Each structure stands twice: as C-alpha cells, then as structure tokens.
Amino acid sequence: MQSLETLLSHHGLSAILDHIHAIVILAEKDGALIAWNRAFEPYKAGFRPNGKLGDLFTDTVDTQSRSQFKKMERWVTHIFPDEDKQNGLLCDCMLLPLADGKILFVAEIINSAPKLLDKVDRLSKQVEVFKNESETAKKLARRKEVEMSGVMAQASEISHIDALTLLPNRRKVLRQLEDEVQRAQRYHTPLTISILDIDYFKKINDTYGHLAGDEVLKQIGQILTDYIRHPDMAGRYGGEEFLVLLPNSDAQAAADQAARLCKRIRETNIQTAEQILNITISVGITEYQKTDTWETLINRADAALYEAKSGGRDRWVIKNSQS
C-alpha cells in the first residue's frame, strides 16, 4: 500500500496546509523565511521584512547552526514574543531539515492563554522564595503550591479543549475512545460511536467566508453540548467532523440520538454576521464488535458516514460490518 505522502505528492497541498491550525513555515538554512501557511498570517505583521526563524522564539535558539537543527528536531517552547520577550504562545515545535538544505518548521499551539502562563510563572517564582524562608513561610509556600496546582490543572484542561467549539479536541476524544474500547473488551459491555459531518461545509466557506463557517462550527458545538449527556461524549474530530462516543449503548440508541440531532440542527437558524444559514448534518454509526480496535471502529463509522452522504445527506446510516 502506498503511503499518504506519496499519494498526496502528486496533488496541490495548499488547501490542506491552509486548513490545518498548526503553523507551517519553510525557511532557508540560515533561518530566512521563504513561505508559510495561513495559520501564520495573524503573526506575520509583527516581524521585520527580513526577519528570520530565530525571531519567533522567546528562548535562545541558534538558527544559524545545522547541527543545532538536528539536535532540536522537536521541543516545546514559547514563540511569537512581545518586545520585552516575556510572553508568547506555548507550542509543540518541530524542525525538519530537508534534502535541499532548507528547513521545515511546524508549530502546534498547546495553550493560547499567555496570561495564564504568566500567572504560572509568577507563582513558581513565589514558591521558590517561600521555600527558603521560615516554617511559617513554608506553610505559605504550600498554599501557593496548591494554588499553582489549580492553575496548572486549568492549563491542562485548556490544552484538551477545542478553542472554537469548546468541545474536547481530537486528541482528547480519541484517547477517551481508546479507553472505552478497552473497557468494552474487558467487561463485554456495548459501545457505539457516531461521526457527524456538516453537509456542504466547503460551500459555506466558499460562499460566505471562513468567519461564517466558524460561526456554524461554534453553534453546532453548542447544540452537541446541550444534547449529549454523560456518560456520552462529543468532541471535534477535525474540520467539520465531530465524534460522539456512546458507552453502554447499542446502535439503536445512537440512531435515536442521531435522529434528534438531525432534526434539531435542520430546524436551527444560524445567525452569522451578515446572513442566516440553515444547515444539515450526516451521521455514520457503528457498534463495537469483539474483534474491533478503536481504529476499525473509526474506519467503519467513516464508511457509514460516506453512505449517508451518498444517500442524499441529512440522514444517518448504521454499519456494523465491513461488508
């Protein structure tokens, strides 16, 4: 089977690069910026015309050294500093030296709340000071540690939330799916998943703009928040797709839920900045079988979603076998 990169290399990748939220930059070996995707545009204005890759970092990174690039193929740091180099976005960064001598830089934002990060930093410094004082001060240090633990827990929660829809992000919902599959295997309990896709979403973006598309995603996220109850879980799977987990539920329960969601979304008037939109969704449903992994469940639900779209959209399809 051919790899994904081999298959995609024959096609234009600009649409894919502009769709993802990660920042992608192509640079010369000395760090001079050559090209970048749309995720970098909000930050580009803050750099001088001849800026280099090293200007992105709050930490000292030797962008002149090829050996340094090889040593730092992946690391976590703050990028896009202000003039005082005090604040920035915490990012999971990757440097990929290319065969032609150029460098590919990829940055995924882990936490886009600089004020929260600054608060963690200040609390950490206070804890260190208090630890060197008297027993009374050490008690105060303990209180500060507890406070800092709370802030760190909040930061961790933010890192698992999709910033646009406020639903669990792809990483979180897939991790939960892995746990639910293991639980179903161990205790022989039912498990069903649904993949929801917004019909004609590309047409919405092309016709009304990406801000209108973002508003559609936000309101779908709100509807899922209102309609999905514990222990069920809904998360943003990617783009205009959402993944719903239904532990201890069979495919019929998922179909009933899909029917309610299709009707609710069909009857919702989505108000954007300039117009009111009416949209529909398609849903692919599958129930866990004893030989399934989380990957086979996803693949089968995706195939069911494809059948729902091929059948006219605004509907759901249950697929419990590979046939």
Residues involved in catalysis: 240
Total Cβ atoms within 10 A of residue 68: 12
Cα gap 233→213, rounded to integer Å: 23
Question: How does DSSP assign 125-193, residue by residue?
Answer: HHHHHHHTS-HHHHHHHHHHHHHHHHHHHHHHHHHTB-TTT-SB-HHHHHHHHHHHHHHHHHHT--EEE
Lay out the sheet containing 33-36: strands in order across: 33-36, 23-27, 103-111, 89-97, 74-79
Cα gap 202→199, rounded to integer Å: 9
Residue type present at position 87? N
Residue type present at position 178? E
Two tokens at 81? 């500093």
Helix axes 114-131, 135-159, angle to 10 degrees: 160
DSSP 99: T
Q: Report which of 260, 271, 264, 149 is spatially closest to residue 208, judged by C-alpha positions.
A: 271
Q: Which residues contact 29 (CB under 8 A, 6 or more apart)?
A: 66, 97, 101, 102, 103
Q: DSSP strand E in 22-86: where?
A: 23-27, 33-36, 74-79
Two tokens at 131? 């630890």
